[in-house]
Structure 1
Amino acid sequence: MKNTNAGAAAPRVCSVWVKGIAGAGKSTLLRHALGRIKALHSAGEAPLVLDFFFDRQGDALQKSTLGLFRSLLHQVLTWAPRTLAAFVDAFRQRSAAEKTPPDDAAKWPEGDLKAALRSSLAAALQERPVWLLVDALDESGDEATAVGIVDEFKALLDGVSADGFPLRIILTARQHLKLDSEYRFEVAVQSNNAADIAAFVAARLSTDPFLKESIIGELITKRAGGLFLWAALVVDKVHAMRRASKGLRSIQRMIHDTPAKLAALYRQMLDELTAEERPLTRKLFQWMCFAKRPLKVDELKWALIVGAEGLIESCTQFEDHDEFDSDMATRIVYISRGLVKTESEWADSSPSAQHFVRFIHQSVVDFLLREGGLASMHDGPTLASADIAQHAHYQLSRTCIRYLRMKKIAQLPAETLQEWAESGTLWSTFPLFEYASVAWPSHTQRGYQHRLVSSMGWPSDPFFNRWLRIYCRVWSRKLPHIRWIMDKIKECSFLFRCPPENINVGHFAAQHGLTELLLEALPPRGRVAVDTRNNFGRTPLFYAALNGYGRLVAALLNAGADPCVRDHRGRDALSFAAQFGHADVASDLLSKGAGVNARDSAGITALHWAALGQDQDTMRLLLRRGADVGAKARNGSTPLEWAIVVGHEAGVATLLAAGSAVNYSYREWSFTDSLDSWVNCVCEEKGTLDIYFIDRGTRMWTPLSLAVRKGIVAIVKLLLDKGASPDLAAESGSLPLSLARELGNEEMISLLEARASKSKELSIMLGSNATM
């Protein structure tokens, strides 16, 4: 252990960084520490113990800062609820005031969660000690994210009161992270764990008297070089050799020949696969690396058996497969050569309490995807990383489609499916149904698209329309099983939204970028009407435009799609292309006759949406094509305010350079577009869903007063330099300087006072000249 503040007095706060290479046993050490700390509670000291284990293989909340702070606050609420009383009250008020469901009201901004954690821990530390343990910080995202978490915890330490109980923080991370200066103590695991590895190995070998008395344990410990995981894998190989009646010399040779680095060891283990096992193992790894969520054992069994190729078969024929009656939990561990495990991580919440399949360590995923492990398992030339992903998504997509087209599922009436879903029979009878019905469009979009049409059996097989009926009818009901899935798998929640009503295969292909399917559907090959509207009044062109699929937009326009068609709110495809920053698509639409100054029912133009979408290329394109920079929406707002709302400094500069006025007022308003589930999906993935919420109330504002209220000094300077008056008060509004003083923004106050003074001097001079 290294003390970076040697000689200092015993601290009231303590921070420890447990660092080490992958597989050194950092997580194991932290789990043991967590158990020891929690034991203090039974001894009467009663500390508040909070923990979080980042997991890159897990769902979105298990590998994000949002999940970290939500989890920590949930633990505080469980064990020290009084410290979060104000936070709970705020939640209730917000939920009641905004009339939002609890699930939506609970979506707090990350900054609010951090503030709540700081205040709750400050209160808790007045009553008892607090321990905070966070594992695998390097799996939280990139290095900047990890450093940001460290900075937040450092702020927690700095804020500890001198008269309270101590706060102790322990973090684990791989040693490449540059966190050294932030921690009082460091523990380099691989330099201090030889005794622990020796004890572990001895315990594992003690069941075999021959191995217990041999030098095998000592040899493994010495060769491990501080890698706990290496020792564990080699012990497994030793036991396998003993079961095969191998002698001591063979075992010793195996240990000496085993590569010291984990990646090389994994490659050696996979090289031992037989020709028969290799395709199945490759398929297993594809599902585990690219599935939208961890799969249950029963789900994975069907995924491996059904496969991506071949004729559509019945359930009975698949049940005759050689692998069907195998003990799949044991089988997948064997064909992965121990790199995969099963665990009931979510069994306490799952109604089926089944086991999920996971890799034994994140380093296995790194080896497969970053170090060529999965690529080397393909026959023929080595594939690039992008090709590996596309090939895997192709396999997963076609497997899902084949499963859903099985006769037993295809022939079930929709009413029966709904009844089975309500009773739980559906999930037990067709284990892969939930995953396949939800995820096949996403995998199809990300994989190779060749032979998609024949895989779907379109148009002779009514698979697509049947899927729509099944999907919307079953999933829209949000039964307990489905609510559990959506709660656990936040990153996939957008997949559970039903498509808009009255869509056809053209809408679907345009939304998911499926060029082959769209070309087959449109005339002259197909019979799908190019301008068919869904219940929002949107044609396939809308979805191709908002997703930026230039080739699909061109195909639709060449097939006769109307570029000027409006949805039920008066919006056209150009407004969506502008909103999501697809300048090339916007250019094609304008060339085919889309109106550059067309307005929707709220008087909003494409330039408004481009300003809100913060894309300068699209804004400049629209301005070059004649967009009215001063176009006013129904509430009087111009594109300039929309750029100010989202704090887009470059966009504000572009609009001002194009001649936007700065001294006028407009009415504050609330605008929520009539979004369908597919548009929401794009918004959520691109992080722009909040752009639909502007402001509330009835006050009048000027561009300058809005920028002051947003607290954006750079934009305030731009407006002032273009002649915005600091003395212009909007009707029923405040002067910008008064507003800055209300908000306590000192930098803004100084800037506005200086400009107001110059404005006053100029007015006096002009007045004096007028009287001379």
Structure 2
Amino acid sequence: MCRFGTTSDVEYRKVAAALERIIEKGLKSKVPLSADDRIKLIDLLRFDQIAYRHASIKAAHASTCSWLLDDVAYKAWLDTGLRSTHHGFLWIKGKPGAGKSTVMKFAYEKSKRIYQQSSSSIVLSFFFNARGERLEKSVEGMYRSLLYRLLTQIEGLQIDIGDLVLSDNMTWNVGALRGLFESAIRNLEDRRLTCFIDALDECPLKEVQELVKDFQTLGQLATELGVSFSVCFSSRHYPHVRIQKAIEIVLEERPEHVSDIKKVIDQDLKIGNDGDDVEYIRKEMVERAQGIFLWVVLVIRILNEEYSDGRVHRLRKRLEELPTDSHQLFRDMLTRDAKNIDELILCLQWVLFAKTPLSREELYFAILAGTEDEVPEWNRAVVTYKVIEKFILSSSKGLIEVMRGGRQAVQFIHESVRDFLLKDNGLATIREDLKFNFRGKSHNSKLAA
């Protein structure tokens, strides 16, 4: 310090600030979390739906998504030598239905496998889920999930709980959780922490804005402390939320992503392999998809059904009839035929407006209660879970699925289905009287059921 002329010297202030941070870190680490408090804290952080969304995301098709590992931007994110340029942030963006969650699950699980033998590398994830319960779609749930996994994976990690009183009847707030997470970052020492945070757009906008701001501060802090803290976000194109230093990957702009779409079509489209029409259909699907995996999955299902019904001669025409816009495609699926319309409406309404996600049997009997004169007692030998799932798939015309893992609740196949029904008044395309006061009519229908 004697090399500096005065305390106002710019270089002196830099060194002094660095020393203050080192001292502050040392002071914080002198108050260890007791074993009892640690157990209680872990128990208070845990919640039932902590891994539901991750479990419900389908794994990537064979040989897809692997391009990400060789992507220049992805490699730059992993390069610790470039940390000062991006502060450890990567943001994967894409249109609704582009396949962001599948790519994130692939990247997370690949990172887990790479670092699973290293006790100094921790890989965490949180997948926001707007179709789930409160903690699945809130920043509170995200922090609780990340902290729970940190504390259960690193036995010696110290966290300063400050004035926080740990009790069974306590309620968490984001400020306290954010403070605990910052304390964990400060005490990582030589460990490497990587977080994959999926679907920011499925969390309320104000919460996301605060989250990004907080993580930006944490990224800067980690860089100054020399701590290896990396975060990969994913979201739709989000004009209202930005981060100053981050690397971006836009899925639909990557030619490798388009190649993945072609691979899925080649693997899953079962309409024969010969003839000019088949080749035309495959190429046309790649073009019309515009990088949207959800569109491809739905169109494959439609064309496969046409082929199974013997309508080979109509495949080309059917494809040309299908809109390229996902919302328009949902409309086409809902209005294609008039079979079981009451079942369809009730099915969509229950999933759309239920306070908490329904189990498959709850939805099954709710639909029957609203459409049948009498609801028979459940004979499990006849009405098996497989029968119930087929009924839900048929009643929803393919727009509702059963989640795997947990209590196997039902949900829309994608958040854009909810957007279509709520923002585009989608049920009015089925029945005109649902065009106005949609929520009120839905509520009345459910009361009647």
Identify the residue that residue 388 of structure 2 maps to in structure 1.
Answer: 328
Q: In the superposition, relative to structure 1, how do residues 39 and 215 fare at CA in structure 2: closer, same or farther (>3 Å)? A: farther
The CA distance in 2 between the partners of 1:280 and 1:132, in whole Å, is 42
Matched, 1:196 2:260: yes
- How far 1:199 sits from its partner (Å)? 1.6
The CA distance in 2 between the partners of 1:298 and 1:151, in whole Å, is 42
Contact 1:136 1:173 (8 Å CA) reproduced: yes
Q: Report the 3-state secondary structure (helix = DSSP H, G, I; strand = E; otherwise coil) of the residue aligned with 1:28.
A: helix
What code does the residue aligned with 1:167 have?
A: F
> Larger Cα Rg: Structure 1 or Structure 2?
1
Contact 1:26 1:172 (8 Å CA) reproduced: yes
- Pick the aligned partner of 2:349 from 265, 272, 286: 286
Q: Report the 3-state secondary structure (helix = DSSP H, G, I; strand = E; otherwise coil) of the residue aligned with 1:369.
A: helix
Identify the residue that residue 174 of structure 1 maps to in structure 2.
Answer: 236
Matched, 1:244 2:309: yes
Give ranges in structure 1 of 5+ residues lacking alignment.
348-354, 400-772
Identify the residue that residue 133 of structure 1 maps to in structure 2.
Answer: 196
Q: In the superposition, relative to structure 1, how do residues 129 and 331 fare at CA in structure 2: closer, same or farther (>3 Å)? A: same
Contact 1:40 1:47 (8 Å CA) reproduced: no
Contact 1:54 1:135 (8 Å CA) reproduced: yes
Counting only pairs closer than 5 Å after superposition, residues 365-404 of structure 1 correspond to structure 2 as 365-378=418-431, 380-381=432-433, 383-384=435-436, 387-399=437-449
Q: Give the number of the structure with larger relative contact order, counting CA–CA contacts within 8 Å between residues 6 or more apart.
A: 2
Contact 1:17 1:183 (8 Å CA) reproduced: no
Contact 1:332 1:340 (8 Å CA) reproduced: yes
Counting only pairs closer than 5 Å after superposition, residues 78-157 of structure 1 correspond to structure 2 as 78-87=152-161, 94-95=165-166, 100=167, 102=168, 104-105=169-170, 107-124=171-188, 126-142=189-205, 144-157=206-219
The CA distance in 2 between the partners of 1:243 and 1:206, in whole Å, is 9
The CA distance in 2 between the partners of 1:168 and 1:35, in whole Å, is 15
Q: CA RMSD in A?
A: 3.1
- How far 1:162 sits from its partner (Å)? 4.9
What code does the residue aligned with 1:336 have?
A: S
Query: What TM-score do the two structures reach when normalised by structure 1?
Result: 0.44
The CA distance in 2 between the partners of 1:85 and 1:148, in whole Å, is 22
Q: In the superposition, relative to structure 1, how do residues 161 and 182 fare at CA in structure 2: closer, same or farther (>3 Å)? A: closer
- How far 1:206 sits from its partner (Å)? 6.7
Contact 2:199 2:235 (8 Å CA) reproduced: yes
Identify the residue that residue 254 of structure 1 maps to in structure 2.
Answer: 318
Contact 2:90 2:247 (8 Å CA) reproduced: yes
Matched, 1:266 2:330: yes
Q: Report the 3-state secondary structure (helix = DSSP H, G, I; strand = E; otherwise coil) of the residue aligned with 2:303.
A: helix
- How far 1:127 sits from its partner (Å)? 2.8
Q: Report the 3-state secondary structure (helix = DSSP H, G, I; strand = E; otherwise coil) of the residue aligned with 1:134.
A: strand
The CA distance in 2 between the partners of 1:224 and 1:342, in whole Å, is 25
The CA distance in 1 between the partners of 2:441 and 2:288, in whole Å, is 38
Counting only pairs closer than 5 Å after superposition, residues 585-600 of structure 1 correspond to structure 2 as none
Identify the residue that residue 346 of structure 1 maps to in structure 2.
Answer: 406
What code does the residue aligned with 2:234 have?
A: T
Contact 2:126 2:196 (8 Å CA) reproduced: yes
- How far 1:26 sits from its partner (Å)? 1.0
Contact 1:53 1:136 (8 Å CA) reproduced: yes
Contact 1:280 1:304 (8 Å CA) reproduced: yes
The CA deviation string for residues 524-575 of structure 1, in whole angstroms up to 9 with x for no partner, is: xxxxxxxxxxxxxxxxxxxxxxxxxxxxxxxxxxxxxxxxxxxxxxxxxxxx
The CA deviation string for residues 559-610 of structure 1, in whole angstroms up to 9 with x for no partner, is: xxxxxxxxxxxxxxxxxxxxxxxxxxxxxxxxxxxxxxxxxxxxxxxxxxxx
The CA distance in 2 between the partners of 1:259 and 1:31, in whole Å, is 29
Counting only pairs closer than 5 Å after superposition, residues 477-496 of structure 1 correspond to structure 2 as none
Query: What TM-score do the two structures reach when normalised by structure 2?
Result: 0.74
- How far 1:214 sits from its partner (Å)? 3.7
The CA distance in 2 between the partners of 1:206 and 1:121, in whole Å, is 50
Q: In the superposition, relative to structure 1, how do residues 84 and 333 fare at CA in structure 2: closer, same or farther (>3 Å)? A: farther
The CA distance in 1 between the partners of 2:208 and 2:160, in whole Å, is 29
The CA distance in 1 between the partners of 2:158 and 2:337, in whole Å, is 54
Contact 1:133 1:169 (8 Å CA) reproduced: yes
Matched, 1:220 2:282: no
- How far 1:388 sits from its partner (Å)? 0.9
The CA distance in 1 between the partners of 2:133 and 2:306, in whole Å, is 37
Counting only pairs closer than 5 Å after superposition, residues 699-738 of structure 1 correspond to structure 2 as none
The CA distance in 2 between the partners of 1:34 and 1:182, in whole Å, is 24
The CA distance in 2 between the partners of 1:293 and 1:108, in whole Å, is 20
Counting only pairs closer than 5 Å after superposition, residues 619-698 of structure 1 correspond to structure 2 as none
Q: Report the 3-state secondary structure (helix = DSSP H, G, I; strand = E; otherwise coil) of the residue aligned with 1:187.
A: strand
- How far 1:194 sits from its partner (Å)? 0.5
What code does the residue aligned with 2:106 have?
A: H
Identify the residue that residue 10 of structure 1 maps to in structure 2.
Answer: 82
Matched, 1:361 2:361: no
The CA deviation string for residues 21-70 of structure 1, in whole angstroms up to 9 with x for no partner, is: 10111111111111111111235475211211111110000111111111
- How far 1:325 sits from its partner (Å)? 10
Counting only pairs closer than 5 Å after superposition, residues 460-499 of structure 1 correspond to structure 2 as none
Contact 1:48 1:128 (8 Å CA) reproduced: yes
Contact 2:322 2:329 (8 Å CA) reproduced: yes
* Range with bigger deviation, 43-52 or 204-213: 204-213
Q: In the superposition, relative to structure 1, how do residues 314 and 167 fare at CA in structure 2: closer, same or farther (>3 Å)? A: closer
- How far 1:85 sits from its partner (Å)? 4.6
The CA distance in 2 between the partners of 1:175 and 1:356, in whole Å, is 29
The CA distance in 2 between the partners of 1:206 and 1:339, in whole Å, is 21
- Pick the aligned partner of 1:20 from 62, 86, 94: 94
Q: In the superposition, relative to structure 1, how do residues 239 and 309 fare at CA in structure 2: closer, same or farther (>3 Å)? A: closer
Q: In the superposition, relative to structure 1, how do residues 185 and 69 fare at CA in structure 2: closer, same or farther (>3 Å)? A: same
Identify the residue that residue 184 of structure 1 maps to in structure 2.
Answer: 246
Identify the residue that residue 612 of structure 1 maps to in structure 2.
Answer: none
Q: Report the 3-state secondary structure (helix = DSSP H, G, I; strand = E; otherwise coil) of the residue aligned with 2:266.
A: helix
Q: In the superposition, relative to structure 1, how do residues 167 and 362 fare at CA in structure 2: closer, same or farther (>3 Å)? A: same
Q: Report the 3-state secondary structure (helix = DSSP H, G, I; strand = E; otherwise coil) of the residue aligned with 2:343.
A: helix
Contact 1:47 1:130 (8 Å CA) reproduced: yes
Q: In the superposition, relative to structure 1, how do residues 152 and 207 fare at CA in structure 2: closer, same or farther (>3 Å)? A: farther
Q: Report the 3-state secondary structure (helix = DSSP H, G, I; strand = E; otherwise coil) of the residue aligned with 1:70.
A: helix
What code does the residue aligned with 2:282 have?
A: G
